[in-house]
Homo-oligomer: A and B are copies of this chain.
Amino acid sequence: MKARVTVTLKSGVLDPQGQAIAGSLKSLGFANVGLVRQGKTFDLTLDETDPERARAAVADMCEKLLANTVIENYAIEITA
């Protein structure tokens, strides 16, 4: 079983990396760029056959390691 976790900053949390990227894009001539927010993805392979158990395990992984839940949100996609 495969899972993709997407971790993004909660709204309202300052994103200096995103701001730097937006500035670089503008200096490269992309004038129509507004806000840029950077996040992370984790593609996991799991030795699990039950999608619900896989989702629960991945959520636990997010809570314990993959996301800083004080400032980040996470979204989980499970694929067979």
Contact A61 B30 (CB under 8 A): yes
Measured CA separation A34–B25 after assembly (Å): 36
Q: 5 A-B residue contacts at CB 8 Å?
A: A6-B6, A28-B65, A33-B45, A34-B47, A38-B43
Give chain A's interface residues, CB within 8 Å of chain B.
Answer: 6, 8, 18, 21, 24-25, 28, 30-48, 57, 60-61, 64-66
Q: Which of B35, B39, B43, B61 touches A8 (beta carbons < 8 Å)?
A: B43
Q: Which residue of B lies closest to A41 (CB)?
A: B39
A25 interface neighbour in B41, B47, B65, Cβ under 8 Å: B65
Of the candidates B8, B32, B61, the one whose C-beta lies within 8 Å of that of A46 is B32
